[in-house]
Structure 1
Amino acid sequence: MDKFTCNLYLITVYQYPNLKLTMKFSQYFRLLALSIILASCSSDSEPTSETGKSGIPPEVAPLPTETYFPPISRANEWETISMETLGWNEDQVSNLYFFLENNNTDAFIILKDGRIVIEKYFGDFKSDDNHAWNSAGKNLTAMLTGIAQEEEYFDITDATSTYLGEGWSSMPLEQELNITIKNQLTMTTGLDYTVDDIFCTDLECLTYLNDPSTFWYYHNAPYTLLDDVIANATDTDFNSYFSEKIKEPIGMQGLFIKVGYNNVFFSSARSMARFGILNLNQGNWDGTSILSDESYFNAMTNSSQNLNPSYGYLYWLNGKSSFRLPSTVEEFTGSLIPNAPADMYAGLGLNDQKLYMVPSLDLVVVRLGGASNEELLGPSNFDNELWGLINQIIE
């Protein structure tokens, strides 16, 4: 057997360990492998390309633990890692796919240390198709707010009126001036959430109900106005600022598009996964600082107030003592998603758009699609059912 054929064979076997071999070729390879092992024991032997510089054969080399960052200039290139290599239970994957397909899923991805372990598309949906993030896109706005503060365009303790102008609401000026950017980030503006349309940003929809910071309610209109705060403070188009500061530096694609009163982000599932990697690396992309303010990042991904400990700066947080949900004033005891890791934080959007990030496991999980059951804002029963199935694979 010539050298080229031997090398090709070695590579093939290592990459495809389950490949069936002819008896004659298999016996030949065992002899060849034995000779390589014996040669490697010699004190003057050089490591081959198959063993690497450490001299350790690939099959016993340690799992990669450093974060992988998919290249920016080559969007379709992305390193993968097998469930077998990770020691995950591949037998349970069919149950996961059945659940996803029967709950209107279009795209699903799991990353481990940045590498793709599972990537599955359903129906006619393709990897380069764009999908609405819905309120999972609030995470993007939260990080962009931190970047704008870091660049000294504003401080989140500033009054919202400083950047929207006085009279952006129907409240008396004294009440309006009490609302800050931080109140917009934490859903504590005190604006009346009993209006007919909580998405409405018209003056007549923005009225007083509670003093700021005294009540938590998932009110979308104050969040949407954050986009105007950022655009006015930076004196630039919101999409342009986002593209310059987050999208382009990490190789995302996508766009915020006005849908009714809402500003909805659309992108591919892989772009959402890229943003997940950025989060797990606390605002750093392969050595490039996207958000350097550690204090802001920690505040963003931890309890931002004591009214709803399961909410940060537009991020949902797991593992807290209690939580509140959209469309209700009721407080619930326990963790937001009991089956999910306690340190998980997430972007959760209407109709079960999901971006889960788990620092302790270095996992990013993406789900895009239609509503699994009811059309709910943010968290739903789907979260806990999905994580129950994920656990059967990764544990």
Structure 2
Amino acid sequence: MYLKNSLSTVTLLIALLSCSSDDVADQNQAENPQSQESMYFPPLNSNDWETKSVTSLGWNQSKIPDLLNYLQTKNSKSFIILQNGRIVMENYFDSHTSSSVWYWASAGKTLTSTVTGIAEQEGFININHKVSDYIGNGWTSEPLTKENLITCKHLLTMTSGLDDALGDNVAPNNLQYKADVETRWAYHNVYVKLQDIVSQATGKTWSDYFNTKLRDKIGMNGNWIQNGDNSVYWSNTRSMARFGLLALNNGNWNGSQIVNANYFNNATNTSQNINLSYGYLWWLNGKTSYHLPQSQLQFPGKLIPNAPDDMYCALGKNDQKIYVVPSKKLVIIRMGNAADNVNLALSDFDDVLWQKINAVIN
């Protein structure tokens, strides 16, 4: 009799706990409906893309006009917010349309970072090996003993020690010794040598390898266009959003791991001990200090104070932006002309823009 009563009591307690758990889950889902929603990936080779309304997310609709007005007055061409992969806002300005293409500028560095990771996972390169293993000796003007210290990883992390004051030209006579590797962080165009490395190692042109292994895998459009000493990527805004969605999912696209997740995790975390706010050609928020292009100064605090601490981003000349926020499952894209003055990456525009974004999403 005692055992029977005990079993009945246990059964009742389990039932009560189950009901309590279900009630909490229902309440959490009601308060935060997107938390239970699956990640969405738009189909390849299609303009179809699922959307989500601002009101269904509980965002502040009344703050949207202020955000859009700010974007328009700051010379924007396009703006997209994805939440869980679905389009919540998509706006175009100044005769720009969904089919118009625009340049990524240095935001495209993250494309080079990603394809470098793909080449490594396929066994063509090792980022810890020296650059000259792939493109031969004499690719710089440094003494051979110094040149042979520069690895692919040093190009990814901007710690090659090469002189960044000599311009964007990456011919050997313009790549000169400034400091030993890993002793100096400097924003330098020499990262483009990674494209030569991938091309040499794979036996493919950079564009062909990029298109096959990344662009076409996630349904992007666009092409690399030579601009002086740089090869710059141009695409429509949704293509930039597709890449941001890949980044949000740690290199995974709808169940297919495009780039190794461990590599991508390393790429979006601090990569060296000089500029804590820099990964593998990705900028990182929420760190205790940061460096900026063309400066050896260390600035205290977060890169973008108004943005979430876990955000990582691609920043390009004249305010081309990809913001990725894992904690909120957000991807935010901005393309356009310089908001204010010409700049290489970060500008005051970032922090004010995030202030206005926060007014909508919080």
Could you state the TM-score of these two structures normalised by the residue count of structure 1?
0.82
Partner of 1:25: none
Partner of 1:286: 254
Answering whether residue 239 of structure 2 is matched by residue 267 of structure 1, we say no
Distance 1:223 1:164 in 2: 14
Partner of 2:83: 112
Distance 2:176 2:294 in 1: 18
Partner of 2:343: 376
- Given the superposition, is the C-alpha separation of residues 61 and 192 from structure 1 closer, same or farther in structure 2, using an over 3 Å criterion? closer
Partner of 1:257: 225
Answer with 1 or 2: which has the greater Rg: 1
Q: Deviations over 1:295-343 (max 9, x none)?
A: 2111100000010010000000000000000011100000000000000
Q: SS of 2:40's equivalent?
A: coil
Matches within 5 A, 1:131-146: 131-146=102-117
Q: SS of 2:280's equivalent?
A: coil
1:305 pairs with one of 247, 260, 272: 272
Partner of 2:309: 342
Structure 2: which 5+ residue stretches go unaligned? 1-29
Partner of 2:160: 189
Distance 1:235 1:104 in 2: 41
Distance 1:184 1:105 in 2: 31
Matches within 5 A, 1:5-24: none
Partner of 1:164: 135
Would you say the 8 A contact 2:252–2:261 is kept in 1? Answer: no
Q: Deviations over 1:9-57 (max 9, x none)?
A: xxxxxxxxxxxxxxxxxxxxxxxxxxxxxxxxxxxxxxxxxxxxxxxxx
Distance 2:134 2:32 in 1: 55
Could you state the TM-score of these two structures normalised by the residue count of structure 2?
0.90
Partner of 1:70: 42
Partner of 1:325: 292
2:61 pairs with one of 78, 90, 93: 90
Q: SS of 1:360's equivalent?
A: helix
1:128 pairs with one of 71, 87, 99: 99
Moved over 3 A (4+): 59-64
> C-alpha root-mean-square deviation of aligned residues, in Å?
1.3
- CA apart distance, 1:62: 4.4
1:230 pairs with one of 180, 198, 204: 198
Structure 1: which 5+ residue stretches go unaligned? 1-58
Partner of 2:170: 201
The residue type paired with residue 144 of structure 1 is V
Distance 1:61 1:233 in 2: 47
Q: SS of 1:376's equivalent?
A: coil
Distance 2:290 2:31 in 1: 45
The residue type paired with residue 326 of structure 1 is P
Q: Which range moves more in the overlay, 293-302 or 342-351?
A: 293-302
- Given the superposition, is the C-alpha separation of residues 303 and 61 from structure 1 closer, same or farther in structure 2, using an over 3 Å criterion? closer
- Given the superposition, is the C-alpha separation of residues 169 and 83 from structure 1 closer, same or farther in structure 2, using an over 3 Å criterion? same
Distance 1:294 1:268 in 2: 26
Distance 1:61 1:384 in 2: 26
The residue type paired with residue 123 of structure 1 is D
Q: Deviations over 1:332-356 (max 9, x none)?
A: 0000000000000000000000000
Distance 1:263 1:309 in 2: 27
Q: Deviations over 1:260-304 (max 9, x none)?
A: 00110000100000011111111111111201x232111100000
- Given the superposition, is the C-alpha separation of residues 61 and 179 from structure 1 closer, same or farther in structure 2, using an over 3 Å criterion? closer
Number of residue pairs matched by the alignment = 332
The residue type paired with residue 211 of structure 1 is D
Distance 1:60 1:384 in 2: 28
Partner of 1:315: 282
Distance 1:259 1:280 in 2: 29
Partner of 1:213: 182
Q: SS of 2:100's equivalent?
A: coil
Indicate the structure with greater helix content.
Answer: 2
Q: SS of 1:117's equivalent?
A: strand
Distance 2:239 2:310 in 1: 23
